[in-house]
Structure 1
Amino acid sequence: MKLSAPIYRLKREARLLSRKNKIPLHAALDKLAASEGFESWSLLARSATFRCPTQRILDDLLPGEMLLLGARPRHGKTLMALEMMVETVKGGGQCFFYSLDYTETQIMNHIAALGADPELFKGSIDTSDAISADYILQDAKAVPAGTLLVIDYLQLLDQDRSKPDVAAQLSQLQAFARTAGVIIIFISQIDRVFEASARALPDMADVRMPNPLDLDLFDKTCFVHDGEIQFDKAS
């Protein structure tokens, strides 16, 4: 469904509507979303995220690089990563999705919602509780250069205390990416304090870090919020 205006203009209209009618901003956003044919603003924003330039982002990712993909819950970060996988398969490439959050059925349902055939991804989805850097390195040791690996999500890698801390695992995976020439996308949580800020998009300072982590290990970043996207080199 084509929007009548870019999402940043729709958000501006919602703020004006909120002030004019003296209603909460979330109510104004939902009212405006309804005029665009969506049941709620969250569905409109998610739809806008689906139309994001994932192929352009993929084209800008080089073998050996790691991307941090961050957003608050329900802002489309997982679906965006899956869309990158779909585009990779369409282009004849290989991809693997390692999730410590979703079940395989949930992931397959998301892939189907993107209009792709879930059968094409059989064997590419791993939801084992054992997922860690060592697990991934062993599982993906023979994949060809250019293969896309998605890890869902960064902050869960060391939730099991029997696993090395997330900083050590991230360093291992960076070394593997460089050596094997694979591309690794880390889905990441964003701290909830971002919601209280007036900024349109989160940044590296908003990445939730329950344990110390060197974010300089990432080559590029992609932050998503309310359908808006900022893709850049990591600073």
Structure 2
Amino acid sequence: MSNEIMGAEQSFLGCFFLDNDIAEEAFGWVDASDFSSEAHRQIYQVFKTLNEAGQPIDYITASRELQGKVAIDYIIQLADTVPSVANIKQYAQMIRKESQKRKIIALTTKAHRDLIEKDAEEVLPQLEKSLQELAVATETEKNYKSIAETLPNVWGNIQERKKIKGLPGHSTGYQHLDNMTDGLQKGELVILAARPSMGKTALALKIALNVAKKGVPTGVFSLEMTTEQLVQRLLACECLVDLKDLKHGKMTQQDEEAVKIGMGEIAKYPLYTDDDFGDLDKLIARAKKMKRDFNLGFLAVDYLQIVSTGSAKNDNRNLEITKISWAFKKIAKELNIPVLLLSQLSRTVEQQQNKRPNLSHLRDSGAIEQDADQVWFIYRDEYYNQESEKKGIAEIIVAKNRNGSIGTVELGFLKEYVLFATRDDDGMEKKHPLGTELIYTGQGKQQQIIS
């Protein structure tokens, strides 16, 4: 410990003897663990104890609480090291900065030891998380704002919004859904939930592609499918090629030509995928890296229940899900991007007569509903009812919308192309890369070559 830091610690502590009124504010600047000297840590902790008890901070009360752990002569000497309290904040800043250096050294030293037995991919996310927590813990500036401070910003945003034509958020590519939700808003967590085989991945992937088509750097974390499988789905829905035919290489010449054109088109968009399974810390680290590398503007994650926190298997799963959903809400705010997080639904939805899901069916934790700004469900009646009058129709149920309306939007679902398409009274239209137009009415489809 340098003489300069020792002097700063002594002067900081001496200020309390000169003026007890500074205590409340000064205790917010420095923590006991920030002191390099054990004696100073003990003295500071006693000062806090005395202040909380409403007792004066002086030589007698401090000496009594310390019970001989620090010599009385040294306690008296502290007041003689500083002439006034004018520079107390500067002393505190010196103490905090030096403390931060020591803690960074400790973290990197631990990481160095861990690298002896672990891979860098395991050590880096934990090191980044620890450094981030340290940065937050050592923040001394106030984070709160008065309403008076905030009002000018709110008014400024309202005026800026008047200048914007269209949606305030990123378009999903589905007009009726955008009208209900105002698009995908920065800083928001959107949950897309459904039972298996309802089309969660297909819808999320199509939305991600639609966002990327607007030039927004878009990331897709797929913990269930490989990047190759995702790209196959993209090609099937964009080129109107049967996914099974595409996967098995049994396409017609026309389909092959369409796929070649589709590949060229898709390659132009800023869409990035990551299919490397990892725990929560790794996923968060990768999202931050995407933000640094290409200014990530939208993230889709498939899906919540297979994300691991790295905890022991016997840990409470509800607590794990709570931690995961909150982490993605936090990353949405920190990176200022919308996050679309896919989720499974509880099997209890299968046991009710009306199988349309609601918020109570979110699986494993009520925290999912609490953390989400929006919650969407997918329901396809034909999945449960072979005689359904809504074959080929999917209901997107907006069950929660913190800043907007709720309701149901109908989209067409073309299973062979794993494609959700906009539906209106006149049917749906989809342009084929070769000039083929697909018109879908819900009762069937027609394809014809447009000359």
- TM-score bucket (shorter structure): 0.5 to 0.7
1:221 aligns with 2:375: yes
Question: What is the letter of the counterpart of residue 219 of structure 1?
Answer: D
Task: Look up the match of 2:47.
Answer: none
Task: Pick from 220, 229, 247 the counterpart of residue 106 of structure 1.
Answer: 229
Q: Distance in 2 between matches of 1:96 and 1:229?
A: 22
Task: Look up the match of 1:233.
Answer: 400
Name the count of aligned residue pairs: 184
Say which structure is richer in helix: 2
**Contact preservation (8 Å) 1:63, 1:183:** yes
Task: Look up the match of 2:308.
Answer: 158
**What is the 5 A alignment of 1:6-21?**
none
Q: Distance in 2 between matches of 1:129 and 1:231?
A: 29
Task: Look up the match of 2:195.
Answer: 72
1:197, CA displacement in angstroms? 1.4
Percent identity reads: 23
Question: What is the letter of the counterpart of residue 331 of structure 2?
Answer: F
The Cα RMSD (Å) is 3.0
1:174 aligns with 2:341: no
Question: What is the letter of the counterpart of residue 284 of structure 2?
Answer: L
Task: Look up the match of 1:137.
Answer: 284
* CA spacing shift, 1:91–1:131, aligned 2, 3 Å: farther
Q: Deviations over 1:64-83 (max 9, x none)?
A: 00011011111111111011
Q: Distance in 2 between matches of 1:162 and 1:151?
A: 23
1:180, CA displacement in angstroms? 1.7
**Contact preservation (8 Å) 1:147, 1:183:** yes
* CA spacing shift, 1:220–1:158, aligned 2, 3 Å: same
* CA spacing shift, 1:54–1:80, aligned 2, 3 Å: farther
Question: What is the letter of the counterpart of residue 176 of structure 1?
Answer: I
* CA spacing shift, 1:122–1:177, aligned 2, 3 Å: closer
**Contact preservation (8 Å) 1:201, 1:228:** no
TM-score, normalised to structure 2, is 0.37
Q: Deviations over 1:61-118 (max 9, x none)?
A: 2100001101111111111101111110111111111111111111111111220645
Question: What is the letter of the counterpart of residue 307 of structure 2?
Answer: L
Question: What is the letter of the counterpart of residue 63 of structure 1?
Answer: K
1:212, CA displacement in angstroms? 6.8
- Stretch moving more, 143-152 or 104-113: 143-152
1:56, CA displacement in angstroms? 4.8
Question: What is the letter of the counterpart of residue 287 of structure 2?
Answer: A
1:121, CA displacement in angstroms? 6.4
Task: Pick from 318, 342, 347 the counterpart of residue 192 of structure 1.
Answer: 347
Question: If you compute each CA radius of gyration, which structure gives the higher value, 1 or 2?
Answer: 2
Flag the structure with more relative contact order, 1 or 2, with Cα contacts below 8 A and sequence separation at least 6: 1
1:159, CA displacement in angstroms? 7.4
Task: Look up the match of 1:97.
Answer: 220
**What is the 5 A alignment of 1:6-85?**
53=176, 56=179, 59-85=182-208
* Secondary structure at the counterpart of residue 288 of structure 2: coil
Question: What is the letter of the counterpart of residue 192 of structure 1?
Answer: R
Query: For structure 1, which runs of at least 5 residues remain unmatched after alignment?
Result: 1-49
Q: Distance in 2 between matches of 1:90 and 1:66?
A: 21
1:169, CA displacement in angstroms? 2.6
Q: Distance in 1 between matches of 2:295 and 2:188?
A: 11
Query: For structure 2, which runs of at least 5 residues remain unmatched after alignment?
Result: 1-172, 239-261, 314-318, 381-393, 403-451
- Stretch moving more, 120-129 or 213-222: 120-129
